[in-house]
Structure 1
Amino acid sequence: MQNNKVTPVLKRTLGSFHLWGIAVGLVISGEYFGWSYGWAQAGTLGFLITALVIAAMYCAFIFSFTELTTSIPHAGGPFAYAYRAFGPTGGFIAGFATLVEFVFAPPAIAMAIGAYLNVQFPAIDPKWVAVGAYLVFMTLNILGVGIAATFELLVTLLAIFELLVFMGVVAPGFDMSNFVHGGWAGSDSFSPAAFSGMFAAIPFAIWFFLAIEGASMAAEEAKDPQRTIPKAFIGGILTLTVLALGVMVFAGGVGDWTKLANINDPLPQAMKLIVGSSSGWLHMLVWLGLFGLIASFHGIIMGYSRQIFALARAGYLPKRLASVNARFQTPHLGIIAGGVVGIAAIFSDSLIVIGGQPLTANIVTMSVFGAIVMYIISMAALFKLRRSEPNLIRPFRAPMYPFAPALALLLAIVCLVAMIYYNTLLFLIFAAMMLLAYAWFRVTHQARSNAAHDPQLSVLQTAPAKSGK
């Protein structure tokens, strides 16, 4: 029997520019920190190759993912697409993998915010700065999506400006010989160790682009999503690709790049090599550089809250988490719940620091595991829906189908295999979390039966038409 309960909904207020700001803002902290851990694995040249391959994967993925987002504009994003294609179990895999990605990314960014402020104020504890960041930006997200999205757009524009300033200031001191010296995992020539390092560096190349797909979770709050979302996604991935390559190359060419590996603030340290520790340029970078971290931190809080909201609304998480604040029309309990998990992660050094890797590197890797699993099932859902629902309205169709989504799917599988090989213990922890979540999924089937009917998640039972046009 169909459940006729009213489905909780979110308010539509976002245009193309706001969505572009969310798409870029979600990711832009990846240009400020995190990626330099890849240099420690592969060297500058090895990591450059890895980053170019990952950039190709993301371009293929986003052009394909946009078809799903415009066809099924749902706050659950990948959860909704996989549910539509593969049913409740497919929705579970995509939904909880996305949740891991979006809940584990913010504590890494919060720690980087603490590290940047520590440059200016060495006496402060980065962890308590991280907790303060959570409290401030959870509150801002609760106050309303219009306010949150406008703030996101503003800090994203400031973050882009600051990255351009960084490249301009260090450009006079750039020397390609610095970038290529020891560029193959510490060697000047390619070796098997360099090849191995390129695969080990995959999570940190993904960090350049991680979470751009989170803009899909604002689809229920977008005006005319079929038109605005493609503009936001395509403009976003092109913006991020140019910035990522520019920042990486300029930072690696200013001096001894090995001093920038395994730290949370590579850009201020790179600029310090050129302008000195007392320069006004350096202090400006530290302060304005915070905008890049804040943009992603704030945007991912927005993303994880919508994922929690969508999963709870569908009965995959406790029903209370689908509550919408009566005054601000935001999923306030979802915002708070994700923040509690993130703050716990910040203080869980003994559980998350594994294999001698820094805390931030391991949180980044855990987040990437969730992302890659979600990418794989999303591309599989695209292929499945093309066959099972050829009459589904597709305002945007993936270009170069089936080659672009097939390339994204193949590269995502290669990334997952390589990550499991180089991060086996972290993968086992990730797998254990997914299994525990699946046990919850199995024992709470009645909650899904009682959930409000959501037509966007309905799998068509009629025979497909002959034409997919």
Structure 2
Amino acid sequence: MNANQSGTAPALQQTLTTFQLWGIAVGLVISGEYFGWSYGWATAGTLGFTVTAIFIAAMYMTFIFSFTELTTSIPHAGGPFAYAKRAFGPVGGYIAGAATLVEFVFAPPAIALAIGAYLNVQFPALDPKVAATGAYVIFMALNIVGVQIAATLELLLALLAIFELLVFMGVVAPGFTLAAFTKGGWSGQDSFSLAAIPGMFAAIPFAIWFFLAIEGVAMAAEEARDPRRSIPVAYVTGILTLVALAIGVMLFAGGAGDWTKLANINDPLPQAMKMIVGDNSGWLHMLVWLGLFGLVASFHGIILGYSRQIFALAREGYLPHVFAKIHPRFNTPHLAVLAGGVVGIAAIYSDELIKIGGQTLTANIVTMSVFGAITMYIISMLALFKLRRTEPRMARPFSTPLYPWFPLFALAGAVVCMATMVYYNFLVALIFAGLLLAGYGVFHLTRGNRAKLAAAA
């Protein structure tokens, strides 16, 4: 009998292994190796963006080592929402939950559009938006069918995506030249000057895209067989895998030819390979098809992530309780899966609303998602410091190494990212702030639900 039938609080099944959690960690993020990051070249150049990416990689490394302490101490489907709520109360929980929701609901439409762009290379008559909508329908259905099927598929897709990225590097390696990578590498100039610095700061959202959503493993913690042991292994090996792949992809793509032709497109890897093998090579066709595995892995994984966030918020009374319902047969939060999909498909077709500030639709969706992520990173690190002080005896199966320096660096890096993103993306920042304010209205309207749940507990 599931939770809905028994009348108790809805609960998820604990079935995920360490290897599956690693697959989720890598799969959630790996689409960031395929597209999105190259928009950073448009403002920073290859060398300037490399500096930005190294800083962001260091921020993520220290963040993940710190975040793992929270995830293993409080294994909850709400992830950051649960940590902030425990540290700062309901309002803190709302801020973290809403920010995470923006991150995980706005990332999938950007990935879906990239899936459409990749398919359009093979089928020019296929509208990328139609393909993106089709991807939503297929992978929402797979996420509803069951978490074991979803996690096993995610692991397979992640492994195939890693293999494909290694193939890409191997195929373009013979044509790689360092001169091509470094030409105009400092915001269009061959040598560094102070004029290159603004472009490096403006490129921060696209460096974050390399690693965005790895924290989504936290939202699968409630479904892990042994979260206190398996999550640290999944997180640490996952971030190391992704850092190595990001360096390789960026280096080989930039050295394949004229990197400026890759800076504002959704399919930089196939276009980079064209520079080496030509338009009709079998390698190119293989890349396009296998490249879809990386995009699909992240798309599929983030649907899993946003559905758990919506489910957790609804279960705690922050959203309408209907979204906390679990499917009677598949034991998955099916209505939460569908709700996030409706918002994502609407974003795909909202060109005039989201295509602002001279940026492409995809670039602005990426930026919106990053605003949510950075807000969540900041409040999560603040929650870590608060809980260390107020709950020193809380069970911590994994302790942050080099505390307090790792979380302090992650916090400082996130604050720098937020300040620069607001400066360079002010209109998107206003929309993000408007979403949080609208959500706060829902938070107020649902306070009666929370009071009833607290009374029944």
Q: TM exceeds 0.5? A: yes
Please report how far the alpha carbon of residue 191 of structure 1 lies from its aligned counterpart in structure 2 after TM superposition.
2.4
Please report how far the alpha carbon of residue 451 of structure 1 lies from its aligned counterpart in structure 2 after TM superposition.
2.6
Name the counterpart of 2:17. 15
The 3 A distance-change label for structure 1 pair 453 and 240 is farther
Name the counterpart of 2:4. none
Among 145, 150, 153, the alignment partner of 2:152 is: 150
Name the counterpart of 1:321. 323
Amino acid corresponding to residue 64 of structure 2 in structure 1: I
Name the counterpart of 1:463. none
Among 24, 27, 51, the alignment partner of 1:25 is: 27
1:313–1:452 Cα contact (<8 Å) kept? no
- Establish whether residue 38 from structure 1 lines up as the match of residue 40 from structure 2: yes
Name the counterpart of 1:296. 298
Name the counterpart of 2:419. 417
Name the counterpart of 2:232. 230
Which ranges in structure 1 are unaligned for 5 or more consecutive residues? 456-469
Matches within 5 A, 1:307-318: 307-318=309-320
Amino acid corresponding to residue 345 of structure 1 in structure 2: A
Amino acid corresponding to residue 133 of structure 1 in structure 2: A
How high is the TM-score relative to the length of structure 1? 0.95
Name the counterpart of 1:273. 275
Amino acid corresponding to residue 415 of structure 1 in structure 2: C
2:320–2:446 Cα contact (<8 Å) kept? no
Amino acid corresponding to residue 393 of structure 1 in structure 2: A
Amino acid corresponding to residue 200 of structure 2 in structure 1: M
Q: Provide, for residues 27-62 of structure 1, a one-character-per-residue CA deviation record: whole Å limited to 9, x for no partner.
A: 000000000000001000000000000000000000
Please report how far the alpha carbon of residue 450 of structure 1 lies from its aligned counterpart in structure 2 after TM superposition.
1.8
Among 381, 384, 403, the alignment partner of 1:382 is: 384
Identity %: 73
Which ranges in structure 2 are unaligned for 5 or more consecutive residues? 1-6
- Establish whether residue 200 from structure 1 lines up as the match of residue 202 from structure 2: yes
Matches within 5 A, 1:97-108: 97-108=99-110
Q: Provide, for residues 378-417 of structure 1, a one-character-per-residue CA deviation record: whole Å limited to 9, x for no partner.
A: 0000000001111110000000000000000000000000
Name the counterpart of 2:369. 367
Amino acid corresponding to residue 160 of structure 1 in structure 2: I
Amino acid corresponding to residue 427 of structure 1 in structure 2: A
Please report how far the alpha carbon of residue 452 of structure 1 lies from its aligned counterpart in structure 2 after TM superposition.
6.5
Say which SS state the counterpart of residue 211 (structure 2) adopts.
coil
Name the counterpart of 2:129. 127
Name the counterpart of 2:342. 340
> Partners in 2 of 1:140 and 1:71 — Cα distance?
30
> Partners in 1 of 2:406 and 2:456 — Cα distance?
30
Aligned length: 452
Q: Which runs of 4+ in 1 moved over 2 A?
A: 451-455
Q: Provide, for residues 272-312 of structure 1, a one-character-per-residue CA deviation record: whole Å limited to 9, x for no partner.
A: 00000100000000000000000000000000000000000
Among 261, 264, 273, the alignment partner of 2:263 is: 261
Amino acid corresponding to residue 242 of structure 1 in structure 2: A
1:211–1:300 Cα contact (<8 Å) kept? yes
Say which SS state the counterpart of residue 126 (structure 2) adopts.
coil
Say which SS state the counterpart of residue 15 (structure 2) adopts.
coil
- Establish whether residue 190 from structure 1 lines up as the match of residue 189 from structure 2: no
> Partners in 2 of 1:392 and 1:15 — Cα distance?
25
Q: Provide, for residues 337-394 of structure 1, a one-character-per-residue CA deviation record: whole Å limited to 9, x for no partner.
A: 0000000000000000001111000000000000000000000000000011111100
Please report how far the alpha carbon of residue 7 of structure 1 lies from its aligned counterpart in structure 2 after TM superposition.
1.9
> Partners in 1 of 2:125 and 2:223 — Cα distance?
42
Among 402, 405, 408, the alignment partner of 2:407 is: 405
2:381–2:411 Cα contact (<8 Å) kept? yes
Please report how far the alpha carbon of residue 194 of structure 1 lies from its aligned counterpart in structure 2 after TM superposition.
1.0
> Partners in 1 of 2:12 and 2:446 — Cα distance?
25
Q: Provide, for residues 175-196 of structure 1, a one-character-per-residue CA deviation record: whole Å limited to 9, x for no partner.
A: 0000000000111122233100
Name the counterpart of 1:467. none
Among 95, 98, 102, the alignment partner of 1:96 is: 98
1:268–1:285 Cα contact (<8 Å) kept? yes
